[in-house]
Amino acid sequence: MRVGEAELEVFSRGAGEGMVFLHDLDYLNGVEYPFVEALANSRRVLAPSHPGFGGSSLPETADSVEDLAFIYLDWLQTLGSVHVVGAGFGGWIAAEVAVRCTHSIKSLTLVDALGIKVSDRTTADIQDMFVLSPTELIEACWHDPALGHQLMPLPTASNGIARDEDTLTRLLTNRRTAALVGWNPFMHNPKLRARLRRIDVPTLVVWGASDRLLAPRYGQAYAEAIPQARFETVADAGHYPYLEKPTDFVNVLEAFLAQ
């Protein structure tokens, strides 16, 4: 789909009411996941690859997460009113979209989202995923590291899974773009937390209770900054509750949407 200067790769599954899923950084975008299949039973799930990720192009002038948010703002206007779910890096983008305009957003769900500063300037809220070893990253992101070694699509064969060239290229492209737009300051916008008060749609902030990349207290701070936002945790799940505990994650999300 063409959006201004960007060409978005968009995966789709199901039919009916629209839901947009904005993916995380170390994630192979698509709709062949159990949580997407469950959500698509009663709605149309659209999963775009962020500009500069996967098969989506990055405009030459885009060099910040705010630039990606404006591309999505233009795209959402073409969809009508949809539910927006953003995970990790995609949660940061979703929050940047929502503080600017919610006219096309029925509800907002942020899942272990990056993007804000919680502690003082000398305390790191977010572990640097680019310098952690594959083992350290999986232990930080998964409640069950053994499952993480099986499922986490890292751009390395250290977890015993050899990646084909296309998959490896996508994973490395994702990391390169994330570093370009989110490196300085690292994976957050210092102004975003104060702007979250502008979000005026029903909002769920859901967190893996065992997330050690972004601790649940970070998620609680996110929720407290958004008017009337609900904060929920998924037990026995880390940074990717939708992958580690898909049924529990979908149950939490569906209960929110039902209200």
Give me the helix-helix angle, 65-77 and 165-182, nearest 10°: 110
Host domain of residue 20 = 2-258
Higher per-residue pLDDT: 157 or 169: 169
What's the Cα-to-Cα distance from 170 to each of 26, 104, 106, 257, rounded to whole Å? 10, 29, 31, 32
Q: According to the model, what pLDDT value does residue 73 have? A: 98
Concatenated DSSP letters of 233-253? EETT--S-HHHHSHHHHHHHH
Omega before 185 within 30 of 0, i.e. cis: yes
> Residue 161: which pLDDT band, with cuts at 50, 70 and 90?
low
Would the pLDDT of 148 be above 90?
yes
What is residue 155's predicted lDDT score, i.e. its pLDDT?
A: 74
Distance CA 198, CA 194 (A): 9
pLDDT of residue 156: 64
Closest CA to 41 of 74, 8, 70, 19: 19
Mean pLDDT of 44-67: 97
Least confident of 50-59, 121-130, 207-216: 121-130
The position carrying tokens 């940047």 is 96
Is residue 158 over pLDDT 80? no
| DSSP H helices in the chain | 34-39, 65-77, 89-98, 134-141, 145-151, 165-182, 192-195, 216-224, 241-244, 246-258
Q: Is the pLDDT of residue 209 over 70?
A: yes
Q: How far apart are CA 36 and CA 9, in angstroms?
A: 17
* pLDDT tens sequence across 92-141: 999 999 999 999 999 999 999 999 999 998 899 999 999 999 899 999 99
Mean pLDDT lowest among 44-53, 64-73, 130-139: 130-139
| Overall number of domains in the chain | 1
* Model pTM score: 0.96
Residue 157 has pLDDT above 60, yes or no: no
Measure the CA–CA gap between 159 and 133, rounded to whole angstroms.
11
Q: What percent of the chain has pLDDT over 90?
A: 88
Interhelix angle 89-98/165-182, rounded to 10 degrees, is 50
CATH of the domain at 228: 3.40.50.1820
Q: How many CB atoms lie within 10 A of CB 208?
A: 30
Higher-confidence residue of 171 and 219: namely 219
Q: Is 207 helix (H, G, I), strand (E, B) or coil?
A: strand
Residue 179, phi-psi category: left (phi > 0), alpha (psi -120 to 50), beta (remainder): alpha
Q: Output the pLDDT for position 175.
A: 93
Instruction: Please tell me whether residue 169 adopts helix, strand or coil conformation.
Output: helix
The mean per-residue pLDDT over the stretch 29-43 comes to: 97
Average pLDDT across the chain, whole number? 95
